[in-house]
């Protein structure tokens, strides 16, 4: 009983409730999955491209990044998991992991064998549907990142990314108004947005000077949501909210 009360206000429950309200048996099953949590420091590698680890992780606390490296050191960040996100499930079905994952802040994670998760999804339909929805939505976000990299300018792209981040955090119950803490460096942003960190700096300056959004001292403030959305061509549909 105590456990459900604890879970109730947790980012993962916030996120899943957006798809379908979870009920008591769902929360109990979820609590079982999350029972074995593990604290790790920042910059800890948990999944390696090419590895055969068939676990997945619920990110309970902290931020991370999923990425791929090229042989000469270039890095592309796929996305930044935040609390409430499930990661590694899709790629656990492959014989070999297609990307790496590392934390970027201190974090708490629940490690779950992929087949245990599959079983839970089959046996607890409502929770299962919600988890599969969450996985699908996160794939839809990756597809939107593809559009971002391929067809938006640096300014649009950065604006779009920051808006998306705000919405994801809001959905996880981690932000109420237009401010939130954001531990991403300009280097990380560059590798996610396909830009050099120098150019990220210039773009952020522009966004600040246009009084749209400010990212400073790990704190992000959106001054003008509507203006930012217009600039980015942001259509929230792909986040499948409401």
Partner DNA sequence: CGGCAAGTTGAACCGCCTCAATGACGGTGG
Partner DNA sequence: CCACCGTCATTGAGGCGGTTCAACTTGCCG
> Any contact of residue 136 with a second copy (CB under 8 A)?
yes
> Any contact of residue 132 with a second copy (CB under 8 A)?
yes
**Using CB under 7 A, which of 17, 28, 37, 197 touches DNA?**
197
Q: Which does 216 bind (CB under 5 to 8 A by kind): a second copy, DNA, none?
A: DNA
* 51 versus 194: smaller Cβ distance to DNA: 194
* Per-residue H/E/C for the chain: CHHHHHHHCCHHHHHHHCCCCCCHHHHHHHHHHCCCEEEECCCCEEECCCCCCCEEEEEEECCEEEEEECCCCCEEEEECCCCCCEECHHHHCCCCCCCEEEECCCEEEEEEEHHHHHHHHHHCHHHHHHHHHHHHHHHHHHHHHHHHHHHCCHHHHHHHHHHHHHHHHHHCCCCCCCEEECCCCHHHHHHHHCCCHHHHHHHHHHHHHCCCEEEECCEEEECCHHHHHHHHCCCHHHHCCC
> Any contact of residue 147 with a second copy (CB under 8 A)?
yes
What is the per-residue binding string for a second copy in 168-187, x denoting contact by CB under 8 A? --------------------
Q: Which does 238 bind (CB under 5 to 8 A by kind): a second copy, DNA, none?
A: a second copy
Q: Taking CB under 8 A as the criterion, which residues in 101-130 touch a second copy?
A: 122, 129
> Any contact of residue 68 with DNA (CB under 7 A)?
no
Summarize as ranges the residues that interact with a second copy (CB under 8 A): 49-50, 68, 70-72, 74-76, 78, 90-91, 93-96, 98-99, 122, 129, 132-133, 136-137, 139-140, 142-147, 149-152, 191-194, 233, 235, 237-238, 240
Summarize as ranges the residues that interact with DNA (CB under 7 A): 153-155, 185-187, 190, 194-199, 201-202, 204-205, 216-217
């Amino acid at each position: 009983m105590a456990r459900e009360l604890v879970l109730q206000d947790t980012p993962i429950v916030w996120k899943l409730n957006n798809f379908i309200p979870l009920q008591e048996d769902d929360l109990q099953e979820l609590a079982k999955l999350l029972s074995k949590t593990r604290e790790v420091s920042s910059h800890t590698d948990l999944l390696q491209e090419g590895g055969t680890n068939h676990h997945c992780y619920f990110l309970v606390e902290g931020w991370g990044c999923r990425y791929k490296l090229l042989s000469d050191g270039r890095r592309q960040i796929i996305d930044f998991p935040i609390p409430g996100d499930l990661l590694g499930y899709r790629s656990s079905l492959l014989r070999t992991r297609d990307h790496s994952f590392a934390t970027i802040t201190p974090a708490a994670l629940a490690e779950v064998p992929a087949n245990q998760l599959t079983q839970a999804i089959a046996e607890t339909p409502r929770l299962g549907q919600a988890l599969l929805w969450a996985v699908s939505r996160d794939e839809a976000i990756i597809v939107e990142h593809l559009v971002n990299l391929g067809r938006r300018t640096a300014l649009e792209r950065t604006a779009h990314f920051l808006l998306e981040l705000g919405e994801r955090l809001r959905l996880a119950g981690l932000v109420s108004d237009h401010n939130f803490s954001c531990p991403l460096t300009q280097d990380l942003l560059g590798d996610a947005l396909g830009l050099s960190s120098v150019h990220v700096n210039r773009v952020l300056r522009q966004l600040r000077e246009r009084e749209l959004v400010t990212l400073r001292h790990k704190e992000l403030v959106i001054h003008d949501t509507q203006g930012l959305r217009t600039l980015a061509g942001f259509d929230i549909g792909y986040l499948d909210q409401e």
